[in-house]
Chain A
């Protein structure tokens, strides 16, 4: 199947700093990627839809100035968590639509201390 690579797989950062997460489609071009957040024992929560060459579309309640998304090429989307706080600690996962379905990156475990 299609491969979506996400990096880093885990990161620990200090409160107030920013963290960038990369999501790459390795063997296909992805004009649209999705960013999810998942808290322990909860389901995936869609944060935003990343569109190549245009602004991301954010879901209701997601702060666009805090979660900066850049989709500058057909194979790379980035999510930057700005001024991170402990409550931002979560599992962040990207995905790309391929045909009718979607494939996920490996996920990034963010811990803010």
Chain B
């Protein structure tokens, strides 16, 4: 079983809609959770971090964490064409970050 699993997509959403991304992880000892955005040909950039159960909002992004279900999600509200990218979920079971394979999001105008 992979440490971090994501739906690969692609996830296609119309402009202005909500994009919902899901991630599950296997190590119950994981304490920190991150969402990175990666544009094609570029390196990942951190967009959200979450450490405790519940929701965390930052602008159009909301991260949700449920440690009991070993589940973390990312919602992108009012999706824009500039949100088209691959979103990587990352968790820290130890000193290293473990990444999911990423979900590719396409926002169509």
> Interface residues, chain A, CB within 8 Å of chain B?
1, 6, 32, 34, 42-44, 46, 49, 91, 93, 95, 97, 100-107, 109
Q: How many A-B residue pairs have CB under 8 A?
A: 45
User: Closest CB of chain B to A18's CB: distance in Å?
Assistant: 23
Cβ of B46 and Cβ of A101 under 8 Å apart? Answer: yes
Q: Given A93-B43, A101-B34, A103-B46, are A34 and B101 neighbors across the interface (CB < 8 Å)?
A: no
Task: Among A34, A43, A97, A105, find the residue whose CB has the most chain B CB atoms closer than 10 A.
Answer: A43
> Interface residues, chain B, CB within 8 Å of chain A?
31-32, 34, 41-46, 49, 51, 88, 90, 92, 95-97, 99-102
Q: Which of A32, A43, A104 contacts B43 (CB 8 A)?
A: A104
Q: Which of B31, B43, B44, B96 contacts A46 (CB 8 A)?
A: B96
Please indicate the chain A residues that have their CB under 8 angstroms from the CB of B97 in the complex.
Answer: 34, 95, 102
In the complex, residue of chain B having the shortest beta-carbon distance to the beta carbon of A109: B41
